[in-house]
A and B are shown apart, each in its own frame.
Chain A
Amino acid sequence: MKTLFKDVHEAWLATQFTGFMSQTQNRQDLYEFANILFKHLTWLENDFIKNGQDYDYSINQVPIRVPQLSVMIHNIIERLEKIEKELSSCKDAHITFRMQSDIDYIKAALAKMPDENVEHAFDTKREYPNVPLSDEARDALTIFLFEESYKEYELIMVYNYSKANSNDAFLNRIFQILIDESFFHLRSFGQMMAEMGILGVPRSLMEEIYKFDDLKQFLKDGIQEEIGAKEECKKLAAAVSESSEHFAAFFTFINNQENYHIALMEEALAHINKES
């Protein structure tokens, strides 16, 4: 079942990032399918936990550099077919029935998906449509997007792991909000990376990032990281403000969203302190 879990994880990322490279209605469909595959990942994860089995989030690199969307669609279908063959390794028939039903639908929809050219997502031109960028702004934005796309993926997985392994409803509500927020940010940054021709799937997480012993310390560190991210957004908003009002406004918006994340983590910390 560990292979199944890993393959579902990789299929989710392949589908999510294929969505980023699309510039048509395909994008929204791929986002929906990615959501379904992420849900499958959480079902299998809960089955591991229910059965007291150890698991991890290690994955192989997910190559996505293709000229046409159809190449990735074919790749995703192959990944789903491999998953189908591995479903029997999960002994919960309810989970595998639901997964099979979803996969049947996704495969049929993918097979009909119109093709599109996606070379722009990997051309490394680092130009944003209708937005002139200075060299300094271009470099700052490039580094920011690589750093933060990884960070958002990391946060999705960290909060997902924490949520899966906690029975505290109060904390789990906060973890779910933080997961949703990170999904939104990952999508924003992933789309921007594709626009700039620098799309890449984040690297695999080291186990100690999400398997930590001290949630309080993790939250304290997380608050400091969010404060750091706010500063990065401020710097970036300043660096791109001369080039683009649109980007400056976007990064100010992201900066202000970090306040909400900090408030949520402080709320979680206060709850843990009250309980202990």
Chain B
Amino acid sequence: MNADAQLIEHMMNPQNYGEMKPNDAVGMGKNPQNGEKVAIYLKVEAGEDPLIQDISFQAIGCTTTIVAGSIITSEAKGVTFSRAEELISITLGMLDNIPPEDAACSEMVALALKAALDTYHERQKDPDFPMISYKIQTDCTPKEEEQA
């Protein structure tokens, strides 16, 4: 990851970091390769297209994951679920254009958000529905290590 000024701000002061209690839904994104994971917590205003009133995340992961979590949760705060779905699609669509180790982290955060939205939907039908967890598909091994 290149450390430009905006990214450094997210490293020094990650936005929306921490567990949210109480919450309306939690979702998890996991990297089965290395055990890294991201949890996203949502506070939701109900409606036909629900609104993300508040959002936070926690991670067991590297600095890139924290930066991705800080950026994506900042973008998702205050938007409707349909806009959040678009945000997830845009993020997942960009993965081919970034280094694999960075792509894996962004995918993990995007899938955690997707899992949180899906958990919320399921909980409208069944309040005891367990937290949904999605696993990433991207291989996070840097290319030079693959070749070595």
- B60, A208: Cβ atoms under 8 Å? yes
Contacts of B58 in A (CB 8 A): 204, 206
Q: Which of B9, B18, B63 contacts A204 (CB 8 A)?
A: B18
Q: What 0/1 pattern do residues 1 to 37 of B give for CB contact below 8 A with A? A: 1110100110111100111000000000000000000
Q: Which of A58, A124, A203 contacts B66 (CB 8 A)?
A: A203
| Residue picked from A63, A124, A126, A146, most chain B C-beta under 10 Å | A146
Contacts of A122 in B (CB 8 A): 12
- A198, B17: Cβ atoms under 8 Å? no
The distance from the CB of A199 to the nearest CB of chain B, in whole angstroms, is: 7
Given contacts A60-B18, A204-B18, contact A146 B5 (CB under 8 A): no
Contacts of A58 in B (CB 8 A): 18-19
The distance from the CB of A248 to the nearest CB of chain B, in whole angstroms, is: 20
The distance from the CB of B33 to the nearest CB of chain A, in whole angstroms, is: 13
- A209, B13: Cβ atoms under 8 Å? no
Say whether A92 faces chain B, with CB atoms less than 8 Å apart: no
Contacts of B17 in A (CB 8 A): 61, 203-204
Closest to B8 in A: A124
- A209, B60: Cβ atoms under 8 Å? yes
Assembly CA distance A198 to B39 (angstroms): 26
- Report the count of interface residues on B (CB-CB < 8 A): 20
Say whether A93 faces chain B, with CB atoms less than 8 Å apart: no
Say whether B90 faces chain A, with CB atoms less than 8 Å apart: no
Closest to B21 in A: A58
Say whether A42 faces chain B, with CB atoms less than 8 Å apart: no
- A143, B3: Cβ atoms under 8 Å? yes
Assembly CA distance A266 to B18 (angstroms): 33
- B14, A142: Cβ atoms under 8 Å? no
Contacts of B9 in A (CB 8 A): 124
A-B contact count (CB 8 A): 53
Assembly CA distance A209 to B39 (angstroms): 14
Assembly CA distance A264 to B21 (angstroms): 38
- B63, A143: Cβ atoms under 8 Å? yes
- A203, B14: Cβ atoms under 8 Å? yes
Contacts of A61 in B (CB 8 A): 13-14, 17-18
Q: What 0/1 pattern do residues 93 to 128 of B give for CB contact below 8 A with A? A: 000000000000000000000000000000000000
Contacts of B63 in A (CB 8 A): 143, 146-147, 150
8 A Cβ contacts from A126-176 to B: 126, 138-139, 142-143, 146-147, 150
8 A Cβ contacts from B48-72 to A: 58-60, 62-63, 66
Contacts of A208 in B (CB 8 A): 60
Contacts of A124 in B (CB 8 A): 5, 8-9, 12
Closest to A208 in B: B60
Q: What 0/1 pattern do residues 54 to 78 of A give for CB contact below 8 A with B? A: 0000101101010000000000000
Assembly CA distance A65 to B8 (angstroms): 14
8 A Cβ contacts from A190-206 to B: 198-200, 203-204, 206
Give 11 A-B pairs besides A139-B1, A142-B11 with Cβ atoms closer than 8 angstroms: A61-B18, A65-B13, A122-B12, A124-B9, A138-B3, A139-B2, A142-B3, A147-B62, A150-B63, A206-B39, A209-B60
Provide a sorted-by-A list of 16 A–B residue pairs whose CB atoms are within 8 angstroms.
Answer: A60-B18, A61-B13, A61-B18, A142-B11, A146-B11, A147-B62, A198-B11, A200-B13, A203-B14, A203-B66, A204-B17, A204-B19, A204-B58, A206-B59, A206-B60, A208-B60
Which residues of B are in contact with A by a Cβ distance under 8 Å?
Answer: 1-3, 5, 8-9, 11-14, 17-19, 39, 58-60, 62-63, 66
- Leading 5 A-B pairs by shortest Cβ distance: A200-B12, A142-B3, A146-B63, A139-B3, A146-B11
